Structure formats: C-alpha cells, structure tokens
Amino acid sequence: MTCPRCRGAMRLVKVADKPDDIARVLAELGLGARPPPRPRPAPVGQLELDFAA
C-alpha cells in the first residue's frame, strides 16, 4: 500500500471491525478511542490578526 499524501510505504497494522476491537487497537497504539474535541469557534466580532511569518 502507498500513502496517497506522501507516496510513502504503508503497512497494515490490524483489522478491526467491532467497537471493542477498535478501542483496543487504538489503545495499543497510544491513541484515544475518541477523536480530540473540536476547538470552540471564535466569538462573533472577534478581531482576527494575520501575522506575517
């Protein structure tokens, strides 16, 4: 398999199709079973500054 973004080699880690199996595989990889929470939107009318890098 090849990564569509970087064209690097990909490998199959495990196949899981049940929620309990998926949570266990993610835990083994050091990842949470749920995605991180979305950031809250900026308050209406908040000034957005575009800083030059």
Start-to-end Cα distance in the chain: 36
Tell me the mean pLDDT in the region 23-44. 83
* 46 confidence band (pLDDT: 50, 70, 90): low
What pLDDT sits at residue 29? 84
Domain ranges of the chain: 1-35
pLDDT(8) > 80: yes
Average pLDDT, rounded, for the chain = 83
DSSP 27-44: HHTT--SSPPPPPPPPPT
Q: Residue with structure tokens 């929620």?
A: 19
Residues 6+ positions from 24 with CB-CB distance below 8 Å: 16
